């Protein structure tokens, strides 16, 4: 034993020959894999790289090139959302924004875009949700990563009675009347313009029999004297919301103002900012005072603030409760005030599934706990956590709860309160009636919505504000984890490939598994042998290093089956590498709409097709209906039996307009059913990204009197000749945009096209069955008040799917171009030449016309 140990140690130490049977071999059989590495290191130490390192480096270059190519093709570099530099940073809590809804009842709410609210000053025809975003708040000078938890406060100017003047006069009529009337007028009477002077009230107070005062008679009499004021709308809406500051990474309470029922909002600033996180700004009236009760759970208190100078100056009125309640509200019901909230700090409390109730005679307290607290302590999808302001409808009280099942704030649920007493509470769920978003992450609320405040305006109409998010909670971290995991799996697959092809001889060198590779004493070796963990690790490494030989014997790379396995592993690695790059660098996967003047809008997508191109249409509708700003798709059906709308997979309404005559002029036919001013004329055989479409729409909103499109042409020469895009780029300019992919003003373009002066041109289009897009460019140039009539937007990529079938309209390019050249000559005689105009590429600040 004493003589053999040094021999083994010498072998472990690096192949030093100590005599015996080891002179012909540098290693003991039990350490063959490790020794192979060490022996080759000594035998080939003059080499810079081993075969394994060369293999790994080659795979790194190959997979890195694939990832770079994928990123270049998929992420459209240079075309990014122009978010404010102050805010809108990726946040694990989400990218919340706020939308507005209207309806005849709280159960028939529809988004603002469905109400067709048009605003010329922001080029929104119609205005579309969301109406409040991190960008609109940040651009106003208040940095924000997201806005959420919206609460409305309607203020038609309250009648403020001077208590020192008016009440003293009432006291001469009756002491008890003075106080009561003061309270009634301060709380109940709303007028919509200015404040009424108290003297005006006193001037007709003698008409009332003060010794037999009927409060409602007084209100009725006041309304009679101010009828013209009461009948005029114009209430001011204030919106309080949580805004997350990207510098402090905590929530503050922001406030905005609207004078057009929520269509547009003026950002007023930060209403409340504390040293801790604030959210859920529940605002309400009590005894002529405006209060706010935001969530302050991180402070461990429920605090009540009172407005000093509404809406931006507030002071702490009192601490209602020394409990970290979340999403609490106060409601007056059946002669008592009720406080609903959730306390997640207690032992055994179900987070987002707990609800408690307190009651008292005043919102200021004191509060008594409900006999059955906690009312709920259930799983988080139930809706126990509050999700907005409760409301009354048809004499019933309704509570809004959050469904936090799949992710935090997945949705809202409505509960009708059937019993609310000191010792009993019962509610039943009722349907909300909202249409669920179906555009996925391209919808501003496609992933979740968790807060709703619905109120009835003085006009009788119901309005609701709701927050929404296009991504689930924790999405940025999830993407990074999945991306890194994909890259790690690729690394393992590369190692597996190396083993199969023989570039990697063993998996774990045994010198990574032993304590000491130098000489050791007999005593030390005896201790080492007794170390079970070290021994087990070495045995595991030895067995693991047998895998390469086993794999090479099982999967022989020189056979067809072996090559197939190698190819499959390589392809899987490429797919995972692209997946990893997408998760890490590809953003949240949404193709969002672009703001213009702080607001969004929508457009109608119109295409013209016929029966032979039905497969094109199905693919077209499925893809473009998911684009964020598409409101409706109109299919102009020129020939054959039209499909059923149910045959098309669409996220928006589809209307098929069947034409009696097969004519290209049908593309620009006046259609009073179109509900948007913007129309995207897009051929059914053109496929491009939704982001390209959204950028084009954004440019059109800036230049609504122009044709804004993706295919530029330059018309010049003598005689005029029609040429492709390459010619325009060689000559660094364009003066025509093809309307096969272009935004136009439906109210202007269609009327121009079907005007009497355009009749000759339309006849020529029917004659050649071509040139309808050329004609519209001539008509724009002929009557436009602006010298420039076209704008180009460069798409990241575009595919002509007609090339994949035999259904292309213009199969012979040479003949097609010759017909169009003839059209140019004819149209120039009719409407004047375009050759005198030319606009250079890269002429706009957005850089989208390169």
Beta pairing, strands 654-658 & 630-637: parallel
**Tokens representing 244?**
């997350």
Burial of residue 339 (CB within 10 Å: 0-12, 13-18, 19+) is buried
Helices 772-783 and 746-753: crossing angle in degrees, nearest 10, is 100
Q: Where are the alpha helices (DSSP H) in 595-711?
A: 614-624, 690-702
CA angle 438, 444, 446 (to 5 degrees): 35
Strands 289-295 and 424-430: unpaired
| Residue appearing with tokens 């047998």 | 546
- Here the tokens at position 579 are 């997946």
- Tokens 């020394």 belong to residue: 322
CB 363 within 8 A of CB 409: no
| 716 torsion bin: left (phi>0), alpha (psi -120 to 50), beta (else) | beta
Listing DSSP states for 748-763 in one string gives HHHHHHTSGGGHHHHH
Residue 481: which residues within 8 A CB-CB, separation 6 or more? Answer: none
Q: What are phi and psi of 486, to 5 degrees?
A: -65, -40
H or E element at residue 582:
helix 560-585
How many other C-beta atoms are found inside a 10 Å radius of the C-beta of residue 183? Answer: 14
Please state, in angstroms and rounded to a whole number, the distance separating the CA atoms of residues 271 and 137: 13
99 DSSP β-pair partners: 466
Instruction: State the Cα–Cα distance between residues 511 and 503, nearest whole angstrom.
Output: 20
Core vs surface per residue 700-721: b (16+ CB within 10 A) or e: bbebbebbbbbbbbbbbeeebe
Strands (E) across 627-776 are located at 630-637, 654-658, 678-682, 686-688, 707-709, 712-713, 736-737, 741-745
Active-site pick, 149, 773, 800, 849: 773
For residue 483, is it left (φ>0), alpha (ψ between -120 and 50) or beta?
A: alpha
Q: What is the torsional sign of CA 739, 742, 746, 747? A: negative
Residue 779: which of 803, 746, 748 has the closest Cα?
748
CA–CA separation, 810 and 722 (whole Å): 14
Closest-CA residue to 11 (of 511, 359, 496, 449): 511
Q: Is 91 a catalytic residue?
A: no
Q: Are 500 and 555 in contact (CB under 8 A)?
A: yes
Q: How many Cα atoms occupy the beta-carbon half-sphere of 403 within 13 Å?
A: 13
Neighbours of 724 (CB within 10 A): 13
| 283: Cβ contacts below 8 Å, ≥ 6 apart | 151, 153, 238, 240, 290, 291, 292
What phi and psi, each to the nearest 5 degrees, are found at residue 123?
A: 50, 45
Question: What residues are labeled active site?
Answer: 773
């Amino acid at each position: 034993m004493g003589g053999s140990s040094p021999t083994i140690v010498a072998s472990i130490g690096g192949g030093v020959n100590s005599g015996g049977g080891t002179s012909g071999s540098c290693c003991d059989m039990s350490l063959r894999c490790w020794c192979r590495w060490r022996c080759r290191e000594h035998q080939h130490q003059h080499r810079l790289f081993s075969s394994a390192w060369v293999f790994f480096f080659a795979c790194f270059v190959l997979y890195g090139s694939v990832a770079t190519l994928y990123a270049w093709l998929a992420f459209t570099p240079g075309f990014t959302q122009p978010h404010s530099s102050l805010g809108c940073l990726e946040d694990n809590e989400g990218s919340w924004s706020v939308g507005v809804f209207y309806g005849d009842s709280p159960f028939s709410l529809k988004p603002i875009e469905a109400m067709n609210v048009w605003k010329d000053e922001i080029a929104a025809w119609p205005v579309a949700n969301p109406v409040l975003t991190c960008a609109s708040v940040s651009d106003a000078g208040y940095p924000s990563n997201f806005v959420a938890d919206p609460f409305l406060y309607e203020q038609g100017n309250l009648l403020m009675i001077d208590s020192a003047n008016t009440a003293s006069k009432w006291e001469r009529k009756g002491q008890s009347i003075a106080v009561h009337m003061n309270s009634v007028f301060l709380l109940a009477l709303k007028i919509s313009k200015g404040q009424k002077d108290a003297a005006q009230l006193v001037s007709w107070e003698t008409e009332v029999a003060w010794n037999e005062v009927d409060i409602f008679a007084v209100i009725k009499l006041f309304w009679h004297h101010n009828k013209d004021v009461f009948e005029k709308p114009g209430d001011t809406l204030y919106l309080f919301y949580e805004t997350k500051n990207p510098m402090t990474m905590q929530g503050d309470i922001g406030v905005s103002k609207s004078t057009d029922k929520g269509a547009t909002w003026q950002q007023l600033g930060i209403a409340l900012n504390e040293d801790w996180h604030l959210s859920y700004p529940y605002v309400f009236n009590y005894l002529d005072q405006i209060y706010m009760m935001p969530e302050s759970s991180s402070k461990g208190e429920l605090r009540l603030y009172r407005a000093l100078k509404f809406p931006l100056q507030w002071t702490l009125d009192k601490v209602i409760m020394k409990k970290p309640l979340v999403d609490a509200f106060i409601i007056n019901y059946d002669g008592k005030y009720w406080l609903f909230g959730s306390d997640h700090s207690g032992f055994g409390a179900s987070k987002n599934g707990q609800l408690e109730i307190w009651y008292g005679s005043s919102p200021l307290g004191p509060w008594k706990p409900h006999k059955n607290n906690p009312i709920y302590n259930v799983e988080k999808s139930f809706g126990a956590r509050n999700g907005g302001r409760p409301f009354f409808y048809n004499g019933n009280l309704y509570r809004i709860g959050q469904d936090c099942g799949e992710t935090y704030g997945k949705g809202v649920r409505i509960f009708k309160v059937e019993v609310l007493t000191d010792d009993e509470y019962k509610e039943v769920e009722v349907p909300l009636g909202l249409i669920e978003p179906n555009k996925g992450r391209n919808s501003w609320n496609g992933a979740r919505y968790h807060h709703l405040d619905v109120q009835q305006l003085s006009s009788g109409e119901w309005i609701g504000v709701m927050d929404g998010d296009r991504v689930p909670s924790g999405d940025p971290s999830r993407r990074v984890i999945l991306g890194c995991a994909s890259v790690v799996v690729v690394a393992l697959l590369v190692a597996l490939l190396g083993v199969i092809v023989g570039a990697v001889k063993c998996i774990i060198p045994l010198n990574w598994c032993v304590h000491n590779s130098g000489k050791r004493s007999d005593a030390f070796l005896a201790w080492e042998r007794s170390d079970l963990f070290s021994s087990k690790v070495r045995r595991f490494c030895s067995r693991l290093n047998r895998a390469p030989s086993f794999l090479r014997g099982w999967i022989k790379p020189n056979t067809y089956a072996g090559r197939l396995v190698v190819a499959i592993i390589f392809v899987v690695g490429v797919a995972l590498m692209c997946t990893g790059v997408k998760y890490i660098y590809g953003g949240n996967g949404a193709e969002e709409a672009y703001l213009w003047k702080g607001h969004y809008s929508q457009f109608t997508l119109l295409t013209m097709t016929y029966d032979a191109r039905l497969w094109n249409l199905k693919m077209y509708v499925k893809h473009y209906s998911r684009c964020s700003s598409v409101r409706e798709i109109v299919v102009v059906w020129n020939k054959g039996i039209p499909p059923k709308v149910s045959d098309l997979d669409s996220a928006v309404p589809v209307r098929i307009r069947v034409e009696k005559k097969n004519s290209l002029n049908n593309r620009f036919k006046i259609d009073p059913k179109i509900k948007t001013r913007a129309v995207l004329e897009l051929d059914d055989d053109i496929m491009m990204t939704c982001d390209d479409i959204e950028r084009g729409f954004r440019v059109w909103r800036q230049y609504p009197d122009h044709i804004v499109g993706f295919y530029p042409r330059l018309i010049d020469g003598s005689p005029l000749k029609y040429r492709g895009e390459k010619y325009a780029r060689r000559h660094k300019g364009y003066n025509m945009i093809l309307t096969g992919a272009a935004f136009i003003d439906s109210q202007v373009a269609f009327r121009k096209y079907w005007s009497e002066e355009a009749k000759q041109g339309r006849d020529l289009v029917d004659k050649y069955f071509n040139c309808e897009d050329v004609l519209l460019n001539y008509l724009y140039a002929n009557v436009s008040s602006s010298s420039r009539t076209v704008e180009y937007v460069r798409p990241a990529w575009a595919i002509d799917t007609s090339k994949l079938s035999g259904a292309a309209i213009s199969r012979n390019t040479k003949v097609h171009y010759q017909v169009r050249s003839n059209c140019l000559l004819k149209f120039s005689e009719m409407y004047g030449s375009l050759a005198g105009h030319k606009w250079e590429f890269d002429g706009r600040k957005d850089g989208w016309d390169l």
